[in-house]
Chains A and B, each alone.
Chain A
Amino acid sequence: AQSVTQLDSQVPVFEEAPVELRCNYSSSVSVYLFWYVQYPNQGLQLLLKYLSGSTLVKGINGFEAEFNKSQTSFHLRKPSVHISDTAEYFCAVSRGSGGGADGLTFGKGTHLIIQP
C-alpha cells in the first residue's frame, strides 16, 4: 500500500515570492506521482505528473516538481506566485503498474494562501 504525507497544511506566501509545497510518499513498489490543484467549489485539476524519465517535471501555470527517489519526495515549486494561485494543492501517488487506473492515494492537502 502507498501513503502520502504533505508536511504543511497551510502555507502563506507573499505575492511574487517563490513557494515550495512539500510531499513525501511511502511505497513498496514503483509509483506514479501527481500534483493536483483544487479551487473553491471545483474538482481537481492536474498540475503535473511524474511517470518515469527526467526527475524534474514541468507543469501548467509555471509549476514544477522534482522527484527524489532516495528521499521519497516530490516537492512542488513555483518561482513567483500570483493571487490566482490561492487554492488547495494535493499530492497523490498511484501504483506504477502501467496496466490500469489504480486508485490514487492522496495527501491531506496544502492550502496555499497568497498575501498581497
Chain B
Amino acid sequence: KAGVTQTPRYLIKTRGQQVTLSCSPISGHRSVSWYQQTPGQGLQFLFEYFSETQRNKGNFPGRFSGRQFSNSRSEMNVSTLELGDSALYLCASSLRGTLFVGEQFFGPGTRLTVL
C-alpha cells in the first residue's frame, strides 16, 4: 500500500507571496491532518479534514487554510507569507469512524523556505 505523499518536497518563496501544498493520503484513509514543524515551536497541529469538511483547527492565523477533495486529497494554502512561516509542513492521514484507533501516518513533508 502506498504511503502518504506530499508535493512539492521543497519550496522557496518570498515574503508576501502565497503557497499551496498538496497531500495524498493512504488509499482508504478519509482523514487528513496538517502539522507545522519548526525548531522553535516544534510540531504544531494546523487542521484536520474529513469528508471535505474541516473538523478540527489548531491555533494558527486565518492566513493558513486548507481544503479536501472528494478523493480525500488535501491542499494547504498559506497567504501573505511571512519569514516565520518557514517550516517543514507535514501531512498525516488516518482512518476514521468505528475502526479508528487514533493512529496517523505521516508523509515526508514539504520544506518551505520564505526569503
Q: Which residues of A contact B (CB under 8 A)?
A: 32, 34, 36, 41-46, 49, 51, 90, 92, 94, 96, 98-109
Contacts and interface: CB of A to CB of B under 8 A. Distances in A.
Interface stretch (B12-20, B63-71, B78-86, B106-114): B106-114
Identify which of B35, B47, B104, B108 gathers the most chain A CB atoms within 10 Å of its CB: B104
A43 B103 CA distance: 15
B42 A109 contact: yes
Nearest to B45: A103
Chain A interface SS verdict (over half): loop
A42 B108 contact: yes
B50 A101 contact: yes
Contacts, number: 75
A51 B33 CA distance: 20
B101 interface: yes
A49 B103 CA distance: 8
Contacts of A108: 42
Nearest to A6: B42
Chain B interface SS verdict (over half): strand
A106 B102 contact: no
A59 B81 CA distance: 39
A77 B101 CA distance: 23
B94 A51 contact: no
B56 A103 contact: yes
Interface string B38-79: 000011110110100001101000000000000000000000
Contacts of A90: 43
A114 to B, nearest CB: 22
Given A43-B108, A45-B106, A51-B101, A101 B48 contact: yes
